Structure 1
Amino acid sequence: MINLKSKVVLITGGSRGIGASCVKYFAIAGASVAFTYNSSKLQADKLVKRYSKLTRIKSYKVDVANPKEIQNCVEEVMNDFGHIDILINNAGIWKEGRIDKMSLAQWEETLRINLTSAFLFSFFVIPSMKKKRFGRIINISSTAGQRGEARYSHYAASKGGMISFTKSLAEELAEFNILVNSVAPGWVWTDMSIPALSDKKSFESEIKEIPLRKIAQPDDIAGPVLFLASDLAKHITGEVINVNGGSVMCG
């Protein structure tokens, strides 16, 4: 039912986890796929090889903490694919930082990678979307951005900022038919979370807080992202889709 054959999507942090599942889902839906990676070249190459049979796909090495590399990436994608219809701001990091021990460098690193990169990718992509009077921007936030997270205040702040950024852009860009939404995952089985979830005591503690009593798979997040990029969601903007098994229930 979802057919994106005429669309081009740019997915940041697309080589692993949620990003890789987004690459898969959008390739299956027929979209032309551009995605970024930083250190995971092997995984990126595997994805390109796997889905090149379905659609046009290309990976781009980008340090999303570097504004110039982000600008160059968007320009390269525009040159390679002609346009960008859908932007998925997914790249991010999650590192522990107790407030009385966190350095300014640690704080700024998380904000720069998780939030500023989303601003910059949007900044460079939106002008062409405005010209076409069409665009879809989907920001991957987190339950941490809604309820906070002890020992990860920098991460929670970055994701809370992304939610507010989403709502602000949704109102600002609506007149150009550019829809801006967010998907907020809870716990997901990814390389980033596996070390924490591998601890039996920690896992049992977290699973008790999830009504569905299970941890999401990356595909569970990619599905709602694909939905928001499709015409099925053409009257939805400024929303946060919570995908957390019921662990955080908020409007």
Structure 2
Amino acid sequence: MKNKKVTVLDWGLIDYKEAWDKQEALFADTIKLKINLREHPDESAITPNYLIFCQHPHVYTLGKSGKPENLLLDDAGLKEKNAVYYPINRGGDITYHGPGQLVCYPILDLDNFFTDIHLYLRTLEEAVILTLADYGLQAGRYEGYTGVWFDSDNARARKISAMGVRCSRWVTMHGLALNVNADLNYFNNIVACGISDKAVTTLQKELGKPIDMNEVQLKLQQHIVTLFGMELIA
């Protein structure tokens, strides 16, 4: 039985490791339920879906396919920047999270929607593209890379949203980060996403003014809900 309902959780500004642990718990519980349902079928039972929104204090995370040397700071440098570093279990290379950056962690059972990771990533990208269009900005994809970009067809190419996910038994975790009012100086301390010759940008930089984070969150949430055909749990 497919469950299109989704619970939205707003964790606010939360330590990265704390959020990671909470994600892992929801992820593990969903997988455990799926395994149990396969062993003991129950047509009335459903697996849950979550959309989690948050921000993090300054942190650098390295995906499974990333190179540690793409972090350009040593321990002393991290301390000076008031930042921490974690190698983690998502796909992708290194990225930065910090205040002013909207993070979305969908913990979904894709059996409730569609079992296609490529389509899953493209759908998340589309939600970001539509959110930026709400602000009059034309963004798109960069062939060969995940995430959302501006001017991907010329030398001014710059990335505004990074993505990295983990999926097991069609249950997802980790997700996307959208730079809204983030401090771009922190990106100077990494080879962001392993790409050394492309810039990073924010919604604030593109529009020339700070943007309300809650407003962006609601817009992104609505586009994700619409594109996946979800039903919000009140």
User: Into which bin does the TM-score normalised by the smaller protein fall?
Assistant: under 0.3
Instruction: Considering fraction of residues, name the structure with more helix.
Output: 1
TM-score, L = length of structure 1? 0.26
For normalisation by structure 2, the TM-score amounts to 0.27
